[in-house]
Amino acid sequence: MSETGTVERPTATDVVVVGAGVAGLSAAVAARDAGAQVEVAEAWPQIGGLSLLSSGYLRAADDLDRAVAYLRRLSAGTLPDDGVRTLAGYLVAAPALLEALAAEVGATAFARFGAELAPFESGDLHDWTGRDALGWTGIDALPGFDRYPHASGQRGHTLVRALELAARARGVRVQTSTRVVDLLIEHAAHGRPRVGGVVLDGPDGRAAVRARRGVVLATGGFEFDATALADHVPAPGIAAIGHRGNRGDGLRLAARAGAALWHLANVHGSYGFLLPGRDVPIRNHLGGARRDDRPVGWILVDRRGRRFTNEAPRAPQDTPWKALAAIDDASGEAWASPCWLLFDDDGRRLGPLGRPAWSRPQDRYEWSADNSAEIRSGAIVVAATLDELAQRIGLDPPALRATVAAWNDQVDAGADPLGRPPGTMAPLRRAPFHALRTVPILSNTHGGPRHDAAQRVLDGDGRPIAGLWAAGELGSWFGHRYLLGGNLTEALAGGAAAGRGAAARVQAVAA
């Protein structure tokens, strides 16, 4: 009997997969190929999850040992050695996995390494041992398919659609608008918990489903659970831009089964803008990897009028949120949350400041090419002089003038003490001047149940919880810094590993 009090005799299947993004669909396909009967429950009305909003490309590696070296430094001690090697193995396996998937659905996959990569494709990587082994793999297009209408993105849609077709071809049943609200937890003779199924809440009400072999949690993150975010991510004022369906379901389900949790404070995020009338911010237009020769026409200043961070780091969508959310030790204030993005008229003409992402049609927004619509709406504040701009946004005019003057001198010298490459630096001299209120944002969380190299969820003593697996960003392998494209790699390869593991488990559960 579950904690919800569901007592009716349940239906049964071999494997239940919770979530229908890349991790969940990959788990379902692999479990079915291993001979299991599979049911997939997706809480959102449509499949895909955060994977739809992604680039659709997976980080890959062509050498296991060199990938291990890079990932060991990237993880900074947050992963055991077998976890580092497992993640590196996923990077190496990714091209073959995608090639097989693409061939099945009539598409073509690519893999690029070394000299085949454009400079910006490795712009996010540090100059550490092993970076030369890292590349990319993906499916560019799927014949007869463009994109789903219910979310932003393009190539992420292609990857999800390919997995959807593979799941359909195998007779996998996917139930949308069906949320898993509890696990069926039994206790073996030795007293340890065993997960034997799930409780679904769907269009026809609540029902229990037994899982004869196992349950795979692939529910995504907890970025749209405000309580979990406040509890685990030390970032005042941070706001989520990802998929609204990521409400922490997997976190709560795993905790009920006694799972240990890890990587809760590590999130993938940047800085962005909350426009009038919108409750989800829009990220800045910088891509996932910096382009050292592309001018970035703005600087960020905190509420004291001071510039405080490199606005264009190697991975512009990964770590910038940390600088905005930092707490000043002397005052106890997060002076940069919110802060202001400043640019002049030349900067305005460089292109749109924002790159919207949305997971519901009603959230769709198109940022104007020259930022004029955002000026008209009042989101962007405009003034003829820096002093006037400072007064309008509540900053000290002399402090702002001094900050901009120092920045212009640094641009002229081609040297930024905060580390921006000269090719990204642009002066702020041409009136009118502009300011846009800016907040720390996150694309997705990485925390969740701790798992082993086979994706089995572990309890507080490091022992596998019978019948429970996790995959994707729920309990991601990334515990310190993120590797661009790595979530999709661990979703595809880790999902498949979890699906195979769950299908292989022998469990005598009466239907």
pLDDT, block means (10 residues), the chain with 511 residues:
43 97 98 98 98 96 98 96 98 98 97 95 95 97 95 96 98 97 86 93 95 97 96 94 96 97 96 93 94 96 98 94 95 96 98 96 95 97 98 98 98 98 98 98 97 97 97 97 96 98 67 34
- Residue 473, CA distances (Å) to 83, 258, 329 in order: 15, 19, 32
Query: What are the angstrom distances between the C-alpha of 6 and each of 42, 83, 248, 457, 490?
Result: 20, 37, 22, 24, 34
pLDDT at residue 94, as a whole number: 98
Query: What local confidence, expressed as pLDDT, does residue 191 receive?
Result: 76
Give the pLDDT score at 7: 39
What distance in Å separates the CA atoms of residue 201 and residue 208, rounded to the nearest whole number? 9
Question: Is residue 452 within 8 Å of 458, Cβ to Cβ?
Answer: yes
Is residue 480 within 8 Å of 227, Cβ to Cβ? Answer: no
Predicted pLDDT of residue 192:
86
> Which among 424, 443, 42, 468 is positioned nearest to 216, based on CA atoms?
468
Place of tokens 């190929």: 33
pLDDT for position 190: 72
Question: What pLDDT, on the 0 to 100 scale, is given for residue 478?
Answer: 97
- Interaxial angle between packed helices 155-169 and 81-105, expressed in degrees from 0 to 180 and rounded to the nearest 10: 80
d(CA 298, CA 284): 11
CA 201 to chain centre: 26
Question: Which residues contact residue 419 at a Cβ distance below 8 angstroms, ignoring those fewer than 6 apart?
Answer: 310, 313
Give the pairing type, strands 339-343 and 433-445: antiparallel
